Structure 1
């Protein structure tokens, strides 16, 4: 069996983390979630108010390490589930380019929900702090992320598995 790179993407609060965890259990695959890495490595040092440049520098470091470990995992024959956010089209294209350059079988998974449902989920996740909680996303952060997110066009979704909740 060939290891597959499963790439999860969608807007904030869509259910990506839940979907990614369930997919990793069912495959089986190793799950890499950027939120988990950021929370463990940098949450204690996070400036108030949050600075975009500070955050992005650390996201880039985490992604580089995730890619390194994910590549080794796939080389050993185990599938990987990447939950990196991938809010912008260029981020998703970069992942596809890396997979193609490394000749990795790739499957995109688009997870989405209405804005109202997503906002409510994020607020609930902040309160409950359950399995998928990594970092609190306050309403201002949610609005900021909404402004950064680029919805996929039909061409980008061709071949993707779509999960709408």
Structure 2
């Protein structure tokens, strides 16, 4: 059965790292908005464009599961309503839904975010304390 994996966790929890592993292990399509926002717009959030991008990526994820391709949706999904909606959409396409929750303590989270910014600034974006 085709599976839609949904990554859930705060910034710095390791979602994208785990999403990459899952995609490789499962032969899945990985959809990570951060991979697209910076190349397309130069910033992580621009006048609602991230919401539009995530909507199109979710549409693509559902199209992929319809044709039998596993998908890893790497959004964060902090809202229970959002997670429930994505589960419902996946199951409506007869796909299995697996939520992958990655908890992280505050110290590890901040260390990972600082490391990511220091080593891969061109692939990430700065985060203010309010974003964490």
Q: Normalized against structure 1, the TM-score is what? A: 0.72
User: Which of structure 1's runs of 4+ aligned residues deviate more than 3 A?
Assistant: 100-103
Matched with 2:109 is: 118
Report the Cα offset of residue 137 of structure 1. 2.5
User: Quick one: distance in 1 between partners of 2:64 and 2:16?
Assistant: 20
Q: Normalized against structure 2, the TM-score is what? A: 0.88
Q: Size of the alignment, in residue pairs?
A: 132
Matched with 2:25 is: 26
Structure 1, unaligned runs of 5 or more: 147-165
Matched with 2:40 is: 41
CA deviation profile, 1:82-134 (whole Å, cap 9, x unmatched): 0012122222222123223333210000012211101110011001008xx73
Taking only aligned residues, the RMSD between alpha carbons, in angstroms, comes to 2.1
User: Quick one: distance in 2 between partners of 1:19 and 1:135?
Assistant: 16
Contact 1:13-1:119 at 8 Å conserved across structures: yes
Q: For 1:1-165, what aligned pairs fall within 5 Å after superposition?
A: 2-43=1-42, 46=43, 54=47, 57-129=48-120, 134-138=123-127, 140=128, 143-146=129-132
